[in-house]
Amino acid sequence: MIKNLIIFGTRPEAVKMAPLIKEFNKFSDKFDTKVCVTGQHREMLDQVLDFFDIQPDYDLNLMKVNQNLYSLTADIILELKMILEDFKPDYVYVHGDTTTTMAASIAAFYSGTKVCHVEAGLRTYNKWAPFPEEINRQITGRIADFHFAPTVISEQNLLQENVDPSKIIVTGNTVIDALIDSSKRVDDIDNEEINYLKTIVDCNSKLILVTGHRRENHGDGFLQICEALKEIATTNSGVQIIYPVHLNPNVKEPVYKILSGIKNIQLIKPLAYPAFVWLMNQSYLIITDSGGVQEEAPSLGKPVLVMRETTERPEAVAAGTVILVGTDKNKIVEKTNYLLTNNEFYTQMKSLHNPYGDGKACEKIVHFIGSIK
């Protein structure tokens, strides 16, 4: 029996690890799979666990008021020591680039456990963008024993860092596995948030979904973003903007100050995963600084404008499914208006192939682990 410990702490990690947990559980005769959550995000994490019907075996519940990276990193490493000593897993699975991922990989390394990095090999090679995610994933990449790279470009990054080719498998991204399953389900569930969204979405308008929260955009970046959204809304009467606003005061304060009271902008609270998937499905285009949305939206045929100066997901830029616009007001307005008015370009962009996989990433990971001698 192979003993797996899957560790995550944030909502995006939970979404991307949920289909992997379910895939391992299909083979319970071969794998003893346990789940540990750190609670790096609390309420948002719990919503995803409920939607995917996942019951953690271990819950560190580390979320604190005014939490900082120093204390969070230390707490994760210390708390995981006891769990690793108790369960003694053969493999620890971490995802992507969060503080949970970095700290859990260190704890697993200290315990002598093999580390499997899901969504491995993403790089900007700028340690400050995104912060602290770029360094988190580089540290995890140095520790990991097996690397599940979502794309060939991610694989090439790892090869350039002298990772053993036999330890890398290109899988596609597990978020596509989650999205394909979830997008089939959200129209049929009785969900309070989705029912609310149905009352505010204007079916006669082109819906622009906006998300934004990145630390590197705090300050002038968010002021520019908000001014751009204001101009788009006030100069396009046939457009509706819906913005689930992150609770961080560095985001919430400028957004509400600049965008409140504009007729065709709805500022709403952050959405749980099923409601967010439903809203993506209704959107005409998406403006975001999120990494995950860059991967998800193209599978739904939604063009994406990315409010970042650089991205660790260059495959999407190369494929043409996303366009980098940074936080420059004029560029955001220009590219948005072009997509709103140029039907030929819009149709071409929405029909492009998603470079992040076919929804079978988890099958490939489970098969790989099961084949290790």
Name the residues annotated as catalytic: 97, 119, 133, 213, 215, 246
User: Partners of 32 in the beta sheet?
Assistant: 3
Distance CA 266, CA 209 (A): 10
Distance CA 307, CA 309 (A): 7
Distance CA 7, CA 17 (A): 9
Beta strand extents in 122-213 (DSSP E only): 146-149, 168-170, 206-211
| DSSP string across 73-87 | HHHHHHHHHHHHHHH
Answer for the pair 286, 262: CB distance below 8 angstroms, yes or no: no
Tokens of 75: 């707490």
Answer for the pair 208, 287: CB distance below 8 angstroms, yes or no: yes
The conformational region for residue 125 under phi > 0 = left, psi -120 to 50 = alpha, else beta, is left
